[in-house]
């Protein structure tokens, strides 16, 4: 078992005007010196730099400029504390107390996710900055990327999250960022929920790096950055030129994200299958025999995530065996930088030759002629041998 907190000072939710002592987390056993540093705690609001001292079985927290009067402090002990056997605490613990202000049961809670992968973010810091005085209230999500800023004073807050890769408690230019806009806490017990999606900080547009025509109606475009699916692709300009004369190709190209293209292909296949009433009846009977629990008939997930690829569906189809140049302009990457695009050349593959019909050849090889059958019959030995 990891070391357990058996007592804390001040007591949880205590109101201690003029508090000048250290905040103490006391454990039921001796703790290791490993991973004990100033960044093992988060103090909210961040009125000054936090300092951490370790005792035999306790952790003491103080502020460089002391505890400010009239504040509600939330001291979070982050994961990392170990006992002498190496058992490590995996979840944060918190202590809330007041130096004179009323403790109001408000909260700003939610999730921090990676915008590109959709998965819970790791090593993130969430901050709520109060507009009235600019005071910052930080916290750290748990292992499931859930966070809760509790007991915030009433007011309007600007919420953001970032990946604190180097654990310096500051946003660096190379760290992913998410902004959640303004959150208002107007009454006691107000609770606001928010989802913060982290994206890389970027100032350059997405550049088209490659185009690959799998056939005459599907061209995969690859970019050096992820494209934002929340920005419609209708305004993106796509131009095709046939080589070697750079002749403009008049067509109505459809630009899609890979997931959208897959859903479009499935929808067309389902429409074609539905037209075959006999086939639909057979499929329905088979599905009924297998049971509804197999998951058939459940709508597909329509969520589209950022992608470095787009699919171009030209209409009419391109000419097999011919080369083209594609120009793309007006894309917005996942960081919100517009005017992405570029120009690349690609080749449309030739149509594969028809496959020969080998059904007759196979049938002849499996069915010997009458003379071969007769020869095999006359040469077969009797059951008991010659």
Domain of residue 125, CATH code:
2.60.40.1120
Question: pLDDT > 70: what percent of the chain?
Answer: 85
**pTM of this prediction?**
0.72
Range of the domain at 22: 1-101
Return the higher-pLDDT residue of 241 and 297.
Answer: 241
Shared domain for 91 and 182, answered yes or no, is: no
Residue 296 lies in a domain: no
Bridge-based pairing state of the strands 93-98 and 14-15: parallel
> CB within 8 A of 247, min separation 6: which ones?
241
Q: What is the pLDDT of residues 298-317, one digit of tens each?
A: 333 345 789 999 999 998 89
In a domain, 141, yes or no: yes
Considering the domain architecture, whether residues 197 and 325 belong to the same structural domain is answered as no
77, pLDDT greater than 70: yes
Same domain, 32 and 52: yes
pLDDT for 282: 56
How far apart, in whole angstroms, are the C-alpha atoms of residue 78 and residue 90?
8
Q: Is the pLDDT of residue 286 over 50?
A: no
- Strand, helix or coil for residue 273: helix
27 pLDDT band, cuts 50/70/90, is very high
Instruction: Output the pLDDT for position 356.
Output: 72
Residues 138 and 7 in one domain: no
SS3 (DSSP) at 161: strand
Q: Is 352 within a domain?
A: no
Using the predicted structure, report yes or no on whether residue 195 has a pLDDT greater than 90.
yes
Asked if 106 and 148 count as a contact pair (C-beta separation under 8 A), the reply is no
State yes or no: pLDDT of 386 exceeds 60. Answer: no
Shared domain for 64 and 124, answered yes or no, is no
- Residue 280 located in a structural domain: no
């Amino acid at each position: 078992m990891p070391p357990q907190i058996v007592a804390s000072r001040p007591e949880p939710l205590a109101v201690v005007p003029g508090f000048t002592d250290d905040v103490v987390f006391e454990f039921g056993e001796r703790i290791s010196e490993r991973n004990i540093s100033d960044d093992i705690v988060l103090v909210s609001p961040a009125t000054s730099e936090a300092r951490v001292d370790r005792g035999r079985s306790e952790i003491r927290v103080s502020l460089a400029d002391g505890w400010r009067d009239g504040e509600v402090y939330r001291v979070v002990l982050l994961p990392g504390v170990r006992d002498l056997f190496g058992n490590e605490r995996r979840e944060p613990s918190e202590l809330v107390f007041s130096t004179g202000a009323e403790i109001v049961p408000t909260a700003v809670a939610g999730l921090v996710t990676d915008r590109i992968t959709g998965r819970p973010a790791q090593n993130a810091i969430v901050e709520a900055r109060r507009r009235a005085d600019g005071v910052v209230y930080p916290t750290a999500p748990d292992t499931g990327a859930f966070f809760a800023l509790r007991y915030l004073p009433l007011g309007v807050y600007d919420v953001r999250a970032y990946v604190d890769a180097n654990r310096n408690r500051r946003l660096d230019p190379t760290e992913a960022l998410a902004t959640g806009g303004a959150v208002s806490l107007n009454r006691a017990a107000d609770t606001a929920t928010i989802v913060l999606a982290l994206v890389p900080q970027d100032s350059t547009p997405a550049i088209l790096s490659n185009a690959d025509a799998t056939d005459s109606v599907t061209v995969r475009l690859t970019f050096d950055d992820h494209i934002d699916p929340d920005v419609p692709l209708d305004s993106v300009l796509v131009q095709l030129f046939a080589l070697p004369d750079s002749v403009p190709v008049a067509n109505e190209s459809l630009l899609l994200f890979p997931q959208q293209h897959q859903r479009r292909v499935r929808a067309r296949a389902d429409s074609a299958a539905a037209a075959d009433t006999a086939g639909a009846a057979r499929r329905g009977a088979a599905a009924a025999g297998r049971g509804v629990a197999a998951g058939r008939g459940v709508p597909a997930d329509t969520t589209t995530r950022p992608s470095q690829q787009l699919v171009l569906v030209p209409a009419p189809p391109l000419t097999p065996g011919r080369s083209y140049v594609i120009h793309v302009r007006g894309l917005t990457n996942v960081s919100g930088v517009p005017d992405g695009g570029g120009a690349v050349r690609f080749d449309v593959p030739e149509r594969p030759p028809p496959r020969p019909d080998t059904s007759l050849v196979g049938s002849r090889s499996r069915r010997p002629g009458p003379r071969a059958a007769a020869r095999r019959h006359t040469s077969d030995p009797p059951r008991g041998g010659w």
